Structure 1
Amino acid sequence: MASSTTFSIKAAPGTDIWRKPPSTDVFNAPTSIPPQNQTSSSPLRTKGPLPSFLSARLSFIGSWKYQYDQGGLLLSFRRANFPTTPTKHVGPEKWIKTGVELYNGRPRLSTVACDAWADWSVADLPGNQGDWATVLVERDTDVSGTSLWVYRIDGETGEKVPLREVCWVFGDGDEWEVEVACMAARPGDVGGELAVEFRDFEVTWKE
């Protein structure tokens, strides 16, 4: 089900979600989940077993100003018995974030997938900086196996524009949980807070 609630996250300077060898491991960006629709008979679920996850969708807008300003959708993966499972990381063992990030003077579509370490891909962001952006992360199964696909949703046509396939998510068995949230970050000691506004947060699970 979808939440039409519009809400915002404010990220202070020095916040990020990033893991890069040999020793960078940061997971201090603010995250939020919109209020559940209390009148619904099927309240919005934002955390559940990984085998039940089908898709997550989110729209957002921000006043991107400084290098690496960012906001979007965050999927955090933890073993079902977390936090009793030992982990060397400051945040969840694995995660994916996708949204918009300011890079070299331009807001760009950005996806970071972190298994052992993070890797990053960027793509052109159509439209103007003041436009809302929408991303979708969706489970997909084909003859090769099961993965997550990351898409940009075209604001005029509704077309799913493919950005990235992430194949490691379902490779470690079923004893994992996934939490879906919204995030914003302003890495570096620059400026004041970054405000990112969100709407149309939707998470779909198997019945």
Structure 2
Amino acid sequence: MNPPPQVARDQDDLLVTAAEGSDLWRTTSYGFIHDTGHALLTDFPDGTAAEVSFIADFSAQFDQAGLLIRADAEQWIKAGVELADGVLQLGAVVTRGVSDWSVAPVPEWLGQAVVVRASRKGNALTVRARSGDEPWRLVRVAPLPPGPLSVGLLCCAPTCSGLVVRFTDLRLVEADQSLHP
């Protein structure tokens, strides 16, 4: 979806350069619709989880990377890390006609490897994330639209060129069996 201006391989890693102005958002608070984010998507069957691992040098307002779960242009969820107001934030945007946004600061993750995991089970998506060997942090539990979904890596650079994300892994595995450990 929306091929980025540059993609390169570095051994097993995928280096993706995001285009300036790339983003995903629908209406809420800002009044605009952006559907220009870069994503590499595959089918996302019920009962599976998608995990993406990446490292990025976030430097501009709203630079972001993570996972995109998509039904269509009006129903999608993005989850990952984003530089907002000078602080790296862990969060999610859930869109069902209009977007919402939730974040929590994770400044200690800047420059570190991050893993974002989204588990699809029935009508719910459970998003978790971590950096290094720390325990998983619950990011969001969100409703899923019925029908087929796609999932994959995502990056955007809404305000400035120069964001390069090093994606080190993307895998589909068995979904989490419960919300709580």
TM-score by length of 2: 0.80
Q: Distance in 2 between matches of 1:200 and 1:128?
A: 17
Q: Kindly tell me the number of residue pairs found equivalent between the two proteins.
A: 164
In the TM superposition, what are the counterparts of 1:1-207 in structure 2 within 5 Å? Answer: 5-21=12-28, 23-32=31-40, 46-48=42-44, 50=45, 52-78=46-72, 92-125=73-106, 127-140=108-121, 146-157=123-134, 159-167=135-143, 169-170=144-145, 172=146, 176-188=147-159, 190=160, 192-204=161-173
Cα offset, 1:127, TM superposition:
2.7
In 1, the alpha carbon distance for the partners of 2:67 and 2:19 equals: 18
User: How far does the alpha carbon of each residue in 1:140-183 deviate from its partner, in whole angstroms, 9 at most, with x for none?
Assistant: 46xxxx411111135224x221111102x15x4xxx21111211
Structure 1: which amino acid aligns with 2:126?
A: W
Q: Which amino acid aligns with 2:127?
A: V
Q: Which moved more, 1:62-71 or 1:16-25?
A: 16-25
**Are 2:113 and 2:131, in contact at CA under 8 Å, matched by a contact in 1?**
no
Query: TM-score w.r.t. structure 1 length?
Result: 0.71
Q: Match for residue 42 of structure 1?
A: none
**Where does structure 2 lack aligned partners over 5 or more consecutive residues?**
1-10, 176-181
Q: 1:154 to 1:185 in 2, by over 3 A?
A: closer
What is the percentage of aligned positions where both structures have the same residue? 29
Answer whether contact 1:9 1:183 (CA < 8 A) is retained. no
Select the structure of larger CA radius of gyration: 1
SS for the counterpart of 1:177 is coil
Structure 1 residues 93 and 198 mapped into 2: Cα distance closer, same or farther (>3 Å)? same
The structure carrying a bigger strand percent of its residues is: 2
CA-based RMSD of the aligned residues comes to: 2.3
Higher normalized contact order (CA 8 Å, seq sep 6+, divided by chain length):
1
Q: CA deviation at 1:23?
A: 4.5
Secondary structure of the residue aligned to 1:113 is: strand
4+ residue stretches of structure 1 with deviation over 3 A?
A: none
CA distance in 2, matches of 1:178, 1:149: 15
Tell me if the contact between 1:150 and 1:164 (Cα under 8 Å) persists in the aligned partners: yes
- Say whether the 8 Å CA contact 2:81–2:88 is kept in structure 1: yes
Question: CA 1:5–1:77 in 2, change beyond 3 Å: closer, same or farther?
Answer: farther
